[in-house]
Amino acid sequence: MRLILAEDSALLRQGLVRLLEDEGHEVVADVADATALLDAVARDQPDVVVVDVRMPPTHTDEGVRAALEIRRRWPGIGVLVLSQYVEKRYATELILADTEGVGYLLKDRVAQVDEFLVALERVHAGGAALDPEVVRQLLSRSTHTDPLGRLSERERTVLDLMAQGYTNASIAERLFVSQSAVEKHVNAIFDKLELTPGTGHSRRILAVLRYLGS
């Protein structure tokens, strides 16, 4: 996998470079600000970009704005955002823009190397990788919104895992149930969210977007 890292902390950036190269990936560029990131992406066309939310000069939202620009200009490039905290507005904006090849992890997750690498592979494969804490906080603001209130506790758990990018088979494995049981819950979610088949759009993506964005 060819990667570009954008992180203003030199210590963390170099640590990530070492980690990813040890895992056999190629880090084609590592940069410290959003302008350099966009220049590097245009030049090197990586498979995935790993980017911090807050970067110079203002340390507010330069990183995530660059991530959105990358998704707009080069939709085939995966974007994995790293943040110290759950930035609800930024996370929602990124996720609502697209759920394919997008990830949002808390930096603490980087310390859990295996989970970080799995998330990176998932983004590279065109999937979504959302930190469970990000999903939990995004979902917390939608608990008073119908028709989400119609979902059972188990259905909310399944949708939570769908929002993190897990497949039905992976959800079944994590919940220790059969895949057919998960499929029943997913169909119930579609019904309760009034997502009818034959619309030409993925009901799975629509369900996640409605859950996170309502």
Residue ranges of domains in the chain, CATH in brackets:
2-140 (3.40.50.2300), 153-213 (1.10.10.10)
CA angle 101, 29, 74 (to 5 degrees): 35
In whole numbers, what is the pLDDT of the chain averaged over residues? 84
Q: How far apart are CA 181 and CA 199, in angstroms?
A: 25
pLDDT tens for residues 74-86?
989 999 998 887 7
Low-confidence ranges of the chain (pLDDT < 50): 143
Give the phi and the psi of residue 161 in degrees, each rounded to 5: -70, -35
Question: Looking at the whole model, is its pTM more than 0.75?
Answer: no
- At residue 198, the pLDDT reads 66
- At residue 46, the pLDDT reads 97
ω into 147 cis (within 30 of 0): yes
Residue 50 makes CB contacts below 8 A (sequence gap 6+) with: 3, 4, 5, 6, 7, 16, 80, 82, 120
pLDDT tens for residues 166-199?
889 999 999 999 999 999 999 999 888 878 776 5
